[in-house]
A and B are shown apart, each in its own frame.
Chain A
């Protein structure tokens, strides 16, 4: 990478971005911060409440359990999608006529609107009408994702794996493609095992794209709303009510602006904190 020139006039090139992001990110964020310290009874009358809402949210069982469910969900899907994505990327053909077809088919789930994904899986998993539901029940397992929390979790996780593993596959595949054939030939001459090739050639080359994959999957799964909302509606009970679903319930359903705003900020800060750690690792790597 070439060395960058010092030039503060470069700010002018960023002005359009700053204006648009100011409108869409800064103004709403400030509104949320404003609400998080106040109480309102409507008619635009506000009372200063200080840290009351933060205190309330941080000590509420409802938030704790939604947060726990969210962490559990994200950990489960990360531990399935990342290894599975790498494995599929390794198995995909590297050359030949089938490459394009495979890539198009693999990318397809990524471009389906999220609520259609939810609706599709709803239809697919219905115990009496859906292919998946019928199959599982046919194996003699009692399966009904609208009534049994475990089945609801299983369906939600499977849906997310279906929906997003492709992103990991495509990123890893892009990393693999950047490895010159000469590396493999050299490994062959040295008599390297498949595991050695993976560990010492493929994995290091995939590292930077894998960090992006983990980062994107972490953020997106932590913000997940539409798919589980359409599939299970957060139920049965609250068993699949993740943070965003809970937040929308409080903010747009009950119009509890203060608690919703405080919860939003805690939620956002947590994502930021985790991403900041990733980002630091990433930048340290690029500096080398």
Chain B
């Protein structure tokens, strides 16, 4: 039985790794090798594609843009979600259920529906083609998600904690920052992870809201593949590099992954 389980796990992970392997190996092949024929691994390892990316500003600025708006978005989403999640987990108030459901409906809104009006909105606000536009627009799906995750974690914290703190004379803001936030740190980590993830992988809104100055790396890749001929090696190298930030983030939260994915609801 255990052997079957181990081999099933291995096969599944191999299946996950194969396309990634192919992308990475492609990025080390030179163009003539890619077009010349089929090779399982690079016959002559070349770094030319990576050198192009790190020396050409139109390429590496894309990474800086992406990381900037993703970071901003994660910060905004988690910060505003914290008090709201607390309200939902602790209090009953007029329209709380409706409000919570309305928030979740935004997580269900296809980005394609919001692309055009968001473009018009941020153009009108004069924020078009800035990191702020993308960071704010991604709040559309990240705030509901962060509220949802944090609410789950906060409901797991006994109410006696709040009551004791208030009896000890803590004011609400002081209690919230000094006691409550450290208590739900794991939940904040998980929420931040999800916000990072969804903002990092989303492209439709990010692409629609930027043209030059804040263009995400993922959009630069699409442009290159269509206009400057199909340079597979360069595309593969750029793609491989986009995997790295995600891998780093996963490494940091690896101990919370199993628990966190249950959104505090197990």
Contact A24 B140 (CB under 8 A): yes
The answer to whether A120 and B20 touch (CB under 8 A), given A170-B261, A257-B116, is: yes
Q: Is the interface of B mostly helix, strand, loop or mixed?
A: helix
Q: How far is the CA of A131 from the CA of B118 in the complex (A)?
A: 40
Q: How far is the CA of A111 from the CA of B239 in the complex (A)?
A: 12
Let me know if B177 is at the binding interface, CB within 8 A.
no
Q: Return the CB mask of A121-160 against B: 1 if under 8 Å, else 0.
A: 1011000111110100000000000000000000000000
Contact A111 B38 (CB under 8 A): no
A-B contact count (CB 8 A): 292
* Residues on the A chain within 8 Å of B89, using CB: 4
Q: How far is the CA of A119 from the CA of B18 in the complex (A)?
A: 14
A167: nearest chain-B partner, CB-CB: B261
Q: How far is the CA of A201 from the CA of B43 in the complex (A)?
A: 52
Size range of the interface on B? 35 or more
Q: Return the CB mask of A232-252 against B: 1 if under 8 Å, else 0.
A: 000000000001100110011
Contact B257 A107 (CB under 8 A): yes
Let me know if A13 is at the binding interface, CB within 8 A.
yes
B26: nearest chain-A partner, CB-CB: A123
In the assembled complex, how far is the CB of residue B225 from the closest CB belonging to chain A, in whole angstroms?
A: 7
Let me know if B58 is at the binding interface, CB within 8 A.
no
Pick the residue among A4, A134, A171, A194 that contacts B90 (CB under 8 A): A4
Let me know if A102 is at the binding interface, CB within 8 A.
yes
* Residues on the B chain within 8 Å of A107, using CB: 250, 257
Contact B143 A105 (CB under 8 A): no
Within 8 A of A (CB), among B250-265: 250-251, 254-255, 257-263, 265
The 8 closest A-B pairs by CB, nearest first: A111-B246, A28-B117, A174-B262, A13-B87, A10-B91, A31-B117, A10-B87, A13-B83
Contacts A/B (CB < 8 Å), 21 sampled: A4-B91, A8-B93, A10-B90, A13-B84, A14-B84, A17-B80, A17-B103, A24-B106, A24-B114, A104-B251, A108-B246, A113-B200, A123-B26, A124-B22, A178-B266, A219-B107, A225-B204, A248-B204, A252-B115, A268-B109, A272-B105
Query: Which B residues form the contact surface with A (CB < 8 A)?
Result: 1, 4-6, 8-9, 12-13, 15-20, 22-23, 26, 34-35, 38, 40, 76, 79-81, 83-84, 86-94, 96, 99, 101, 103-118, 120-121, 136-137, 139-140, 143-144, 147, 155, 158-159, 197, 200-204, 208, 217-219, 221-222, 225, 232, 235-236, 239, 242-243, 245-247, 249-251, 254-255, 257-263, 265-266
